[in-house]
Amino acid sequence: GMIWSECKEIWEEGPREYVVHLWNLLDFGMLSIFVASFTARFMAFLKATEAQQYVDEYVQDDDLNNVTLPPEVAYFTYARNKWLPSDPQIISEGLYAIAVVLSFSRIAYILPANESFGPLQISLGRTVKDIFKFMVIFIMVFLAFMIGMFNLYSYYLGAKYNPAFTTVEESFKTLFWSIFGLSEVISVVLKYDHKFIENIGYVLYGVYNVTMVVVLLNMLIAMINNSYQEIE
């Protein structure tokens, strides 16, 4: 029903007018993810049905552990921990979780009608421009330290107490979660007696935390507060 409603809206307003409104893009994205989730789950159901039909037709033994099954059929007897990362059921569950989060955002449709929540939502929407301006500086500083720390520790894979900064992915995760105080100082400690590298790591990690957490985040809060006062 919601998909039909969106199709009617696109037909009546035209694609260009439809895309102008961000709410329409949110609805379109949410419904697309729901459809992709259901499609992936349906594909998993079809594959499981085919495997079951093979078992019903060719396997006489009630205990499948005593039977040698083709790999594509045996796969459906495995526990979840042995499923492939690209399994349609896993993909379906991930997409469904995203779509459910987006679906709750539809509640924001009715908030502007409330005298308490309406101004707050409108103010938050208009401060997005300030957030985007801030993100330019934020991303620039973040990338600088991420690449620098990776270059410093990439040669010490397996020689650290944790894998932080040994790969680009680990560098990203460590620096990102350190913004929220969820990374440890041991991330820069080496098992080798290379104090020069370790001391540089301490300095860079300390400067990063001061720059991001103390300076930039407080600057963002001040910008949002100033914009909110003006809009209000």
Q: What single DSSP character describes residue 179?
A: T
Degrees, nearest 5: CA angle 98-22-29: 30
Q: What is the pLDDT of residue 182?
A: 84
Tell me the mean pLDDT per 10 residues along the chain, length 232. Answer: 89 85 85 94 93 83 72 85 90 94 81 73 76 85 93 87 88 90 85 87 92 86 81 72
69's enclosing H/E stretch is none
Q: What is the pLDDT of residue 63?
A: 66
Residues 132-188 have pLDDT tens digits of: 888 888 899 999 999 999 999 888 888 888 888 889 999 999 999 988 888 888 888
- Annotated domain spans of the chain: 2-109, 115-230
Q: What is the pLDDT of residue 65?
A: 67
What is the CATH class of 115-230?
mainly alpha
28, 23, 34: which is closest to 110 by C-alpha?
A: 23
Residues in CB range of 77: below 8 A, 6 or more apart: 64, 69
Q: What is the pLDDT of residue 224?
A: 81
What are the percentages of helix, strand and coil residues in the chain, rounded to 5? Answer: 80, 0, 20
Report the residue count for the chain: 232
Q: What is the pLDDT of residue 89?
A: 93
CA–CA separation, 76 vs 83, rounded Å? Answer: 9
